């Protein structure tokens, strides 16, 4: 855990009281924490017998843990350890890209426009120049029919590396169905994206695929 990025905070019932002493933690545990650069923050009894069993440990980074206190909610033989934890909210990672709406391009209109460009009207004799003509002509037609659009998206944080291949495929297909329903608003698309009977990848399929371990 010490090798992981970020700041370390450990908490829970360690059950390591000092032998024969109340309101104290076993010195061996404290020595181990100190050798790893860690600090135990609870200094009041956390059990009704007067022992400190529930600990709050961090890597001695100033400003992370503060206002540690112990209160008795009356629900258990253990008391409740509370504290203020100051953590920063990382800025979302943005991804900028350009795209064209090819679905809006009519193939016949595209062909008509392309026939009026140099690649048809004034073809070059040189192979390299003809290649550049093709690229330039196609790009100019696309700029007219499906101009480039700039878009910014928040990069996702969720990883699919723990999912099986079947689960990843089911998840991707379901998202495609949901996007189609949002675009068309058709009841048939809504059923396909959410109904267990009609959907080719219902939620039960996704759950079942996720439970299958990868080999």
User: How far apart are alpha carbons 139 and 157 in whole angstroms?
Assistant: 34
H or E element: which one contains 11?
strand 9-13
The answer to whether 56 and 28 have CB atoms below 8 angstroms apart is: no
User: How far apart are alpha carbons 182 and 176 in whole angstroms?
Assistant: 10
Task: Give this prediction's pTM.
Answer: 0.44
**Which is nearest to 72 in space by CA: 50, 53, 48, 51?**
48
pLDDT in tens, 159-174: 566 678 888 888 888 8
Structure tokens at 27: 């010195």
pLDDT in tens, 5-16: 677 888 999 999
User: How far apart are alpha carbons 94 and 97 in whole angstroms?
Assistant: 10
Structure tokens at 42: 């609870």
Query: Does residue 17 surpass a pLDDT of 70?
Result: yes
In angstroms, the Cα distances linking 124 to 113, 120, 139 are 19, 10, 17
pLDDT of residue 197: 44
More confident residue, 1 or 48: 48
Number of residues assigned to the chain: 215
pLDDT of residue 59: 86
The top-scoring range by mean pLDDT among 83-87, 131-135, 152-156 is 131-135
**Which is nearest to 145 in space by CA: 183, 97, 111, 96?**
111
The top-scoring range by mean pLDDT among 120-124, 195-199, 200-204 is 120-124
Which parts of 48-181 are beta strand (E)? Answer: 54-58, 65-71, 80-85, 94-99, 149-154
pLDDT of residue 215: 47
């Amino acid at each position: 855990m010490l090798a992981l990025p970020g700041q370390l905070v450990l908490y829970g019932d360690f059950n390591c009281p000092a032998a024969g002493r109340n309101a104290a933690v076993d010195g061996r545990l404290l020595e181990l924490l100190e050798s790893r650069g860690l600090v135990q923050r609870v200094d009041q009894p956390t059990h009704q017998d007067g022992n400190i069993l529930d600990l709050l440990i961090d890597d001695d980074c100033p400003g992370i843990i503060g206002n540690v206190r112990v209160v008795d909610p009356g629900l258990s033989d253990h008391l409740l350890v509370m504290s203020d934890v100051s953590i920063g909210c990382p800025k979302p990672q943005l991804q900028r890209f350009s795209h064209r709406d090819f679905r809006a391009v009519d193939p016949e209109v595209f062909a008509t426009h392309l026939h009026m460009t140099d690649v048809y009207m004034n073809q070059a004799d040189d192979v390299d120049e003809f290649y550049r003509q093709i690229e330039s002509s196609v790009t100019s037609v696309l700029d007219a029919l499906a101009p480039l659009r700039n878009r910014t998206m928040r990069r996702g944080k969720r990883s699919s590396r723990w999912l099986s291949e079947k689960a990843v495929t089911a998840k991707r297909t379901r998202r495609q169905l949901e996007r189609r329903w949002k675009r068309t608003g058709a009841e048939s698309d809504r059923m396909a994206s959410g109904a267990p009977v009609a959907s080719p990848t219902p939620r039960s399929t996704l759950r079942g695929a996720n439970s299958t371990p990868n080999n």
